[in-house]
Amino acid sequence: MIIGVTGGIGSGKSAATQRFQEHGITVVDADLVSRQVVQPGTRALAAIAAHFGEQVMRDDGSLDRATLREIVFHDPAEKHWLEALLHPLIRDAIVTALQDSKGPYTILSSPLLLESGQDQLVDRVLVIDVPEALQLERTLSRDGGSEDTVRAIMDAQLSRQRRLARATDVIVNDGDLAQLNRAVDQQHEHYQRLAALRGGRTGRGQES
């Protein structure tokens, strides 16, 4: 059983998935995978360097992600080109990691789970939901930067309402970290029961 975990920037995905990991659950992190597929020496990085030129490369041969992000943020055609290159590679790497994982269930953590079609890889979608004021406050205290920048990122992501509409399960992260951990603990119990049900039957259906 694969559980997709998603939420907007600063919603608490990392905090939540860390707690799942403490229960021994494997977490495949789509963000991490998306960085691995453009490591120095990969064909993807060579293709990006050939397409965008030296401006997106750092002196040490790694990708200058901030510059690349800036370019595609302002140019939809370039964004499309980059996504056409990277999305299949990221998806393949995620599928491999999910297939290799063990345990009652596995988590795929992805900020763009619903936007990128990665939700096709999961059985359930757990949304970490947070009121926007808290989301802004926590992101600013974690990353610094300006309120305008964070608001622009929030605006580019799926709205809270549309994300919630596609959730199977929701954790509202509007309390302290101890409260979040308790909510994750309960969700973990629930997923273990579901996984046991799935393992014990021959057909599909029945779960909720």
Q: Does 113 bind ligand ADP (CB under 6 A)?
A: no
Burial class (CB in 10 A: 0-12, 13-18, 19+), 64: middle
Sequence-distant (6+) residues with CB within 8 A of 134 are: 173, 174
Decide: is 12 part of the binding site for ligand ADP (CB under 6 A): yes
Which span sits near ligand ADP by CB under 6 A: 5-13, 55-63, 81-89, 199-207?
A: 5-13
Closer Cβ to ligand ADP, 139 or 194, answer by number: 139
Angle ∠(114,117,118) on CA atoms, nearest 5 = 85
Options 138, 160, 163, 188; binder of ligand ADP; rule CB under 6 A: 138
> Closer to ligand ADP at the Cβ: 5 or 82?
5
Tell me: does residue 7 bind ligand ADP (CB under 6 A): yes
How many other C-beta atoms are found inside a 10 Å radius of the C-beta of residue 144?
Answer: 9
Complete edge-to-edge strand list for the sheet that includes strand 26-29: 26-29, 106-109, 2-6, 124-129, 169-172
The beta-carbon contacts of 174-179 under 8 Å, at least 24 apart in sequence, are 174/130, 174/131, 174/134, 177/15
In this chain, which stretch among 74-82, 90-98, 147-155, 170-178 interacts with ligand ADP, using CB under 6 A? 170-178
Q: Is 6 in the site for ligand ADP (CB under 6 A)?
A: no
Task: Kindly identify the residues of this chain, within the stretch 15-34, that bind ligand ADP according to CB under 6 A.
Answer: 15
Q: Shortest approach of ligand ADP to residue 61 CB, angstroms?
A: 28
122 φ/ψ sector (left φ>0, alpha ψ -120 to 50, else beta):
beta
Task: For residues 11 and 110, give the distance between their C-alpha atoms in angstroms, rounded to a whole number.
Answer: 12
Q: Which of 25, 30, 125, 180 is the binder for ligand ADP (CB under 6 A)?
A: 180
CB of 199 to ligand ADP, least distance (A): 30
Task: Report the nearest approach of ligand ADP to the CB of residue 111 (Å).
Answer: 7
Residues 33 and 93: their CA atoms lie apart, in Å, by 7
Residue choice 66, 152, 165, 177 for contact with ligand ADP (CB under 6 A): 177
Site residues for ligand ADP per CB under 6 A = 7, 9-15, 138, 142, 173, 175-177, 180
